[in-house]
Amino acid sequence: MRFADRQKKQRAWIQFSELAERHRRNIGIDEGYEQLKRAVINGEFERNGRSRVLYLHPAVTTAKMTREKMRNAVETHPPETVRRHYLAPCWIPRELADTTGQATKRKGGRCKCDDTVALDEMYRLVSQQGYSCRQAAEQVVVQGLALGDGGNASTVDRIRRKFAKKFREMSAATGKV
């Protein structure tokens, strides 16, 4: 629990349940978990032959999720059990989470993030809920819909700039201000 609380601020490790939740709008949460399961089994989260997946289930003392453990879980348990007890409590380092399709690195080492979901949610919050641009940006960052390349304040500012640019482009295209 302390680790999870600390990571809400530090964001050095990302929980699988959060990654699957990010897929909810695009491909569905079930498919998000399926992709993560396949990635573990295929060794995509291994470096130098060692698993980088932390397995922090409260009833288990083993701290790593390996290909073999995941394969065994899939073969012996129903999909919902695998999802809830074997995938959801897994964590991977931020840099590995960024390579799962959430973000890519560009020159200079900064994170180039795909913020489509975050911007869509911001638009909904501003247009339907009456949020200010800043409030909407803060909300999508808190919800984990926007990946950041720094602290929360820098992520909020980046999202606000992207939203303002997108809004200007939409206004120019429709002729509305």
Which pLDDT belongs to residue 98? 67
Which pLDDT belongs to residue 105? 34
Cα separation, 23 vs 117, whole angstroms: 9
Compute the average pLDDT of residues 129-135: 88
Side chain identity at 27, as an amino acid letter?
Answer: I
Residue 52 has pLDDT above 50, yes or no: yes
Calculate what percentage of the chain has a pLDDT beyond 70.
Answer: 78
Average pLDDT of the chain to the nearest whole number: 78
Q: Give 156-167 pLDDT, tens digit per residue.
A: 888 888 888 887
Checking phi first, is residue 73 left (phi over 0); if not, alpha (psi -120 to 50) or beta? alpha
Cα separation, 72 vs 37, whole angstroms: 12
Residue 12 has pLDDT above 80, yes or no: yes
Compute the average pLDDT of residues 79-98: 86
Q: Give 89-120 pLDDT, tens digit per residue.
A: 898 888 887 665 443 333 334 444 567 777 88
Kindly report whether the global pTM for this prediction surpasses the value 0.95.
no
Which pLDDT belongs to residue 134? 87
Of 166 and 78, more confident: 78
